Amino acid sequence: KDKVSVVTGAASGIGRGMAETFAAAGMRVVLGDIETEALEETTRSMRAAGADVHAVRTDVSKPDQVDDLARQTLRKYGAVHVLCNNAGIMVGGSTGWKSSVNDWRWIVGVNLMGVVHGIRTFLPIMIEQDSEAHILNTASLAGLIASGPAPYVSTKFAVVGLSENVYVQLQREGLKPRVSVLCPALVDTNIVYSDRNRPAEFADASVPHTDPAARAARERAAAALKKDGLSPRAVGEQVLAAIRDERFYILTHPELNPVIEQRMEHILTGTNPAVVPSPELMQKLNALRPR
């Protein structure tokens, strides 16, 4: 209660779910997002519900804008206790060799460097405060198993590794800030429509936004997220609980843990990656599905 949280990608999806959860718990919330209209709507909605929020339009791929997010946070509230490096995108290219250079540059700039900029800017502030603080980095289940478009998987694996490294370094140096990494599976968000925010400088997409097949694939994916995805608010509740418990790994769908176990087993036994799930794994997953 009365702590200050900063959430990037806060205007929609998981970011909004976390922001609303934090506000309901009595925290003051700084909302960062690149989408101006969505950011304004989320700010109005949260204030109408009684939340103390401050909005800052932020492109996390730009370090100067992340610096400004921190400056405005300190100017408004005087401290920062929780940072959620959550902003993320997905690009259409399915394979590493078919994805354009601009696809790679854009997604690395947001999904990975956005987290790096957040850590480099906010963590020294938290250390200087010398009080309890927490950084949450949003990765994905695709950061633990190689499932999904190659550029997306690559950035999410990097976020998991970065988060683990920062956690260990903070522990070794006896510093107070804690770290968590969020690895969600299906969540009801609009991430499949990330191209709505593609900058002109990265316009050379490997799969054009207007391509009929790509459009159909996006609609199928969006329908699956809507039908089977966890609500962003439910993810926010899991995040808040993990922060309170100082828990590092946040796996939103524990029923999928056998998939992670299989990958670990393959690494330890020198087995090649599975192209399709084994019959034994499928049997485990089917047994875990709700009836």
Please list the active-site residues. Answer: 152
Whole-Å CA distances, 255 to 78, 124, 259: 41, 37, 9
CA 133 – CA 175 distance, rounded (Å): 10
CA 271 – CA 226 distance, rounded (Å): 35
Give 88's DSSP letter: -
Q: What are phi and psi of 150, to 5 degrees?
A: -55, -45
CA 27 – CA 159 distance, rounded (Å): 26
Q: Are 182 and 144 in contact (CB under 8 A)?
A: no
- Looking at the chain, list the stretches that DSSP marks H as alpha helix, in order from N- to C-terminal side: 13-24, 36-48, 63-77, 101-107, 113-129, 150-172, 212-228, 232-245, 257-269, 279-288
CA 43 – CA 46 distance, rounded (Å): 5
Find all residues with CB under 8 Å of 167, minimum gap 6, and list them: 178, 179, 248
Beta bridge partners of 32: 8, 56
Q: Are 150 and 96 in contact (CB under 8 A)?
A: yes
